[in-house]
Amino acid sequence: MTTLLVATDGSEFGLRAADYALRRHAVESGPVRVHLLNVQPSLAGVNVKLFIRQGSLDAYYREEGEAALESAAARLRSGGIEPTLHIGVGEAAAKIAEFARSTGADEIIIGAHGRGFLADAVVGSVALAVVRSASVPVVLVP
């Protein structure tokens, strides 16, 4: 079985990564498992923890992550793939690479750009950091 990790931030580039996973699934000879991951930036600095309970932060991360995963998950489902949804918290590139290792992903699929600062740069900073830190092939979808 081939295991694909699709990382999305909810942007158009994240949807393009989901589309690529659908095309990849269509040409695969065996079964394909797709993990769909969104990583939320951690807000839990010292000052935040003084004023906001951990349960409230967790609810915020979950709500934001679910919203970011929604469109890509719907697109995968409409193409016949039932993805396993995941939400991480922390530095995006490190979490994506770590998640790929922990799930035994054969490949990471990520949009070449995202919602970050200067999203129209040549290649997004998260995507580039994933390429540098991943232990499996990374497909950057333009």
pLDDT digits (tens, 9 = 90+) for 14-34: 999 999 999 999 998 889 999
Helix H or strand E encompassing 16:
helix 12-27
User: Secondary structure of the chain: what % helix, strand, coil (to 5)?
Assistant: 50, 20, 30
| Token duo for residue 11 | 């942007």
Task: Read off the pLDDT band of 52 (50, 70, 90).
Answer: confident
Per residue in 67-97, pLDDT tens? 999 999 999 999 999 999 999 999 999 999 9
Determine contact, residues 6/72, Cβ cutoff 8 Å.
Answer: yes
Residues in the chain: 142
Task: Supply the pLDDT for residue 59.
Answer: 94
- % pLDDT > 90, the chain: 73
| Token duo for residue 12 | 């158009």
Walk me through the domains of the chain, giving residue ranges and CATH numbers. 2-141 (3.40.50.620)
What are the φ/ψ torsions at residue 35 (nearest 5 degrees)? -100, 130
Distance CA 126, CA 113 (A): 8
Task: Supply the pLDDT for residue 56.
Answer: 87
| Token duo for residue 37 | 């991951």
Strand partners for 108: 5, 138
Determine contact, residues 124/111, Cβ cutoff 8 Å.
Answer: yes
